[in-house]
Amino acid sequence: MRIDARQNRERVLSAARAEFTAHGGAASLNKIAQRAGVGPGTLYRHFPSLADLLVAIIAEDVTALCARGESLLGHPRPGEALREWLRAVAVHSSAMRGLVAAELLGAAQNPALSDCHTAIRAIGAKLLRRADDLRAEDLRPGRTGIDDLLTVVNAVAWAAEQTAHDPDRLDRLLALVTRGLP
């Protein structure tokens, strides 16, 4: 890829993050291009659809999230590891006015985002199983599955973004929601 092309791609991604953060899902592609200092045609050359743009933005974070999860698999206290990772998921999902949470929950409709969702789910399932194993006597059919757990974490991440900003709220809601976990 040509140097200027790569630079423009980065500038578009950066502008898109800013616009999505400012306006959530109502962000405009023309304004993203304008903020990036490129013409709309340039934006389209790099990202044929809005979904491509979102995937590119989200994918970077998801990679980091999965790496974090992998390393937490070696944490001496599995329950704590799970909570720490769920908090990282929530922070990630809070981005861009909760747009990330909304997209990930509806990821089934979008093949590219679906990969992100699958990756998160996989590492989350490992962390949850490891935490569960420590008290195997509690294993019961109805124990929380990773899908419901991630759905709830995404939900509170989104909710925390919808109201006036309160720095402690996300942690309070997460505590409420993960109460009863190993």
Contacts with DNA, residue ranges (CB under 7 A): 1-5, 7-9, 27-31, 37-42, 44-46, 49-50
Distances (CA, A) of 83 to 60, 69, 88, 125, 139: 22, 11, 9, 13, 19
Q: Does residue 148 interact with its own copies by CB under 8 A?
A: yes
Rounded to whole angstroms, how far apart are CA atoms 158 and 102? 7
Please choose, out of 38-46, 62-70, 118-126, 149-157, the segment that lies near its own copies by the rule CB under 8 A.
149-157
Shortest CB 162 distance to DNA, Å: 21
Residue closer to its own copies, measured from CB, 37 or 145: 145
Q: Residue 120, interface with its own copies (CB under 8 A)? A: no
Q: How far is the CB of 50 from DNA (least distance, A)?
A: 6
105 is a contact residue toward its own copies (CB under 8 A): yes
42 binds, among DNA, its own copies, none (CB under 5 to 8 A by kind): DNA
Question: Minimum Å distance from CB 117 to DNA?
Answer: 23
Of the candidate residues 8, 94, 110, 154, the single one contacting its own copies (CB under 8 A): 154
SS3 labels along the chain: CCHHHHHHHHHHHHHHHHHHHHHHHHCCHHHHHHHHCCCHHHHHHHCCCHHHHHHHHHHHHHHHHHHHHHHHCCCCCHHHHHHHHHHHHHHHHHCHHHHHHHHHHCHHHCHHHHHHHHHHHHHHHHHHHHHHHCCHHHCCCCCCCHHHHHHHHHHHHHHHHHCCCCCCHHHHHHHHHHCCCC
**Measured from the CB atom, is 8 or 93 closer to its own copies?**
93
Name the residues that contact its own copies, by CB under 8 A: 102, 105-106, 108, 144, 148-149, 151-152, 154-156, 158-160, 162-164, 169, 172-173, 176-177, 179-180
